[in-house]
Every structure is written in structure tokens, then in C-alpha cells.
Amino acid sequence: MSPNYVSARYHRGIIYYNRGDTSEAIADFDRARTIQDLNLEKLIDRDETGFYAEGLALYYTGRLAAAISMLEIALSIAQHLGNSSFQAHILQRLQQFKIDRK
């Protein structure tokens, strides 16, 4: 419904990725990055789940350091909003990514 909604593109890309449809996932990830590069997104529309989804997209496309940075932003927002269950989930992923980096 909103073609410039970056978080939705990342979330849908993750669904495609988890279903094994990497070409559709990469297409969504690339479109989300293009929207960001063209400054067409509204950052006000992004929440901790959007940054988390972007972090996973970065991880799935081999950009581990950027993925960790994005998850740290998601964690910070989740802490600020008091979303404790999501904080725990993000922390688990961060630990996994940091182990993968070694």
C-alpha cells in the first residue's frame, strides 16, 4: 500500500529469505536500500522492529558489521520503549552475530 515503507520491505524480504526464496528477498532488500539512498523514507515511521529487520537483511546479505550496528540501534529503541521481550530477542541475535564475526 505504501511503496516507500522501508520497514515493510525488509520484513517481507526476511519472510522470502526464510521461505528459501532468496531472489525475492534480495529484491526487497535492494529496493529498501534504494528507497533509503534516495531519502524517500520517513524515519519517523521506523521503530525497533524496522531496524531489527534491516539488521537481519544486512546479515543475510553478508554485511555482518553493519548488521550488528543496526541491531544495536534496534536494541536501544526497544530499551527506550520498554519492550523487554523484544530486547531479549535482539540480544540473542546480537550474541549470535558477534560469535559469527569471530
Domain hosting residue 11, numbered range: 6-101
Q: How many domains is the chain partitioned into structurally?
A: 1
Structural domain contains residue 15: yes
What pTM value is reported for the model?
0.81
Structural domain contains residue 81: yes
pLDDT > 70? residue 26: yes
Residue-by-residue DSSP string for the chain:
--TT-HHHHHHHHHHHHHTT-HHHHHHHHHHHHHHHHTT-S-GGG--HHHHHHHHHHHHHTT-HHHHHHHHHHHHHHHHHHT-HHHHHHHHHHHHHHHHHH-
Contact of 37 with 22, CB cutoff 8 Å: no
Structural domain contains residue 63: yes
CATH of the domain at 34: 1.25.40.10
The amino acid at residue 61 is T
Structural domain contains residue 38: yes
Structural domain contains residue 10: yes
pLDDT tens-digit map of 36-77: 888 876 665 678 888 999 999 999 999 999 999 999 999 999
Structural domain contains residue 1: no
pLDDT tens-digit map of 69-98: 999 999 999 999 998 889 999 999 999 998
Structural domain contains residue 18: yes
